[in-house]
Structures are given as C-alpha cells and as structure tokens.
Chains A and B, each alone.
Chain A
Amino acid sequence: DAKTTQPPSMDCAEGRAANLPCNHSTISGNEYVYWYRQIHSQGPQYIIHGLKNNETNEMASLIITEDRKSSTLILPHATLRDTAVYYCIVRVAKIQGAQKLVFGQGTRLTINP
C-alpha cells in the first residue's frame, strides 16, 4: 500500500482557504487519492477523490501534482464546522474489487474564529 504523510495539525482562520497537504511519493499509476474527514468521533465523511486531474465538488478542491507524488485538499472558505481530522488515503489497488482503506493519523485541522 502506498503510504501517505500529512502534518499532524494545522490552523486556519474562519473564512479563509484551508490548504491541507499530503505526500504520497510511492503511489502507483492505478491508485486514487481519497480524502475523508472525521468530526469528533463521528463516522468518516467522504470529501473527494482523484487520479491525475484536479477535481472540485461542492465541498472542496483536490489538486494533484503532475508527478502524482503529492496533493493538496483545499477548503475554499473554511467555517468552524470544518474543524475535524482530515485523512488523505491512497486507495489500495483493486484486487478482485476488494475494498480496503488504510488510514494514517491524518491532519487535525482547527478553524479559529
């Protein structure tokens, strides 16, 4: 499994963009980058995923470098409700379609008023 490296914690002011980095230098060509977040021991919430191209949805944007060795999750206008632990996960290459996510320690993002 490709491993990911994230800063353990980050702070961001409310209303500003939060940029969360993730390194995944050993990622394989067929592995996706997924982002989830977990708010205070609730179930992880899916945010976004991508393979090569940048992606955007109603929650966030995902920027993947051209060499795919790192990515950045962008929350464009952070609110207090975005305070959570954010996990960057490289999806295990599909083996007979099997599903398995390998979670690291994530980044604890605190949004300050």
Chain B
Amino acid sequence: KAGVTQTPRYLIKTRGQQVTLSCSPISGHRSVSWYQQTPGQGLQFLFEYFSETQRNKGNFPGRFSGRQFSNSRSEMNVSTLELGDSALYLCASSSREGQGYLSADTQYFGPGTRLTVL
C-alpha cells in the first residue's frame, strides 16, 4: 500500500521568494498534519487539516499557510522566505479507523521536503 508522498523532495529558494510544498496522504486518510524540523528547534507542529478545514495550528507566523483539497491532498505555502525557514518539512496523515497494518488515529509520515533558503 502506498505511503505518504511529498513533492518535491528537495528545493532551493532565495530569500523573499515563496514556496509551495505538496503532500498526498495515504489513501483513505482524511487528516493531514505538517511539521517543520530544524537542527535548532527539532520537530515542530505547523498545522493540521481535516476535511478541507484547518483544525489545529502551531505557533508559526502567518507566512506559513496551508490548505487541503477535497481528495485530502494538502499543500503548504511559505511566503517571503527567510534564511531560518531552511528545514525539513514533513507531512503526516492519519485516519480515525485502522486499515490493515495501519493503526487508527496514528500519524504516518512522508519522507519530507528539504527546503534550503539562500
């Protein structure tokens, strides 16, 4: 069964630009969460979407935004990039119901998108 996929896997941008990252959840999963991982701050929760609605939000500035489509795919956008936005951006999906070897209400992560801001 396909896992969570994220595109692109690597991205290089310059300060001031904006970027859009994409996440396709496991088939049947309706919740998608986003996390940022940096060496200094570790893994931090950005936001979570469920049925196209943002249900939970972490402590990040408004430059970080996201959305979810009717097929549960999600995108996150970072505007006016700063050097400190260089990070591994991770997406995770979950479902209230278990599916085979996948546990209910458990987040499964994708491989991440490595963003470098120059």
| Residue ranges of A at the interface with B (Cβ–Cβ < 8 Å) | 34, 36, 41-46, 49, 87, 95-105
Chain B positions 35 through 64: 1 when the CB is less than 8 Å from some CB of chain A, otherwise 0: 101000011110010100001101000000
A99, B111: Cβ atoms closer than 8 Å: no
Chain A-chain B contacts (Cβ-Cβ < 8 Å), number:
66
| Residue ranges of B at the interface with A (Cβ–Cβ < 8 Å) | 4, 31, 33, 35, 37, 42-45, 48, 50, 55-56, 58, 88, 90, 92, 94, 96, 103, 105-112, 114
Give the CA-CA distance A87 to B114 in the complex, in Å: 21
List of A residues within 8 angstroms of B92 by Cβ: 43-44, 99, 101
B111, A42: Cβ atoms closer than 8 Å: yes
Q: Is the interface of B mostly helix, strand, loop or mixed?
A: strand
A–B complex contacts, Cβ < 8 Å, 11 sampled: A41-B114, A43-B4, A43-B111, A43-B112, A44-B43, A44-B109, A99-B31, A99-B56, A100-B56, A101-B107, A103-B35
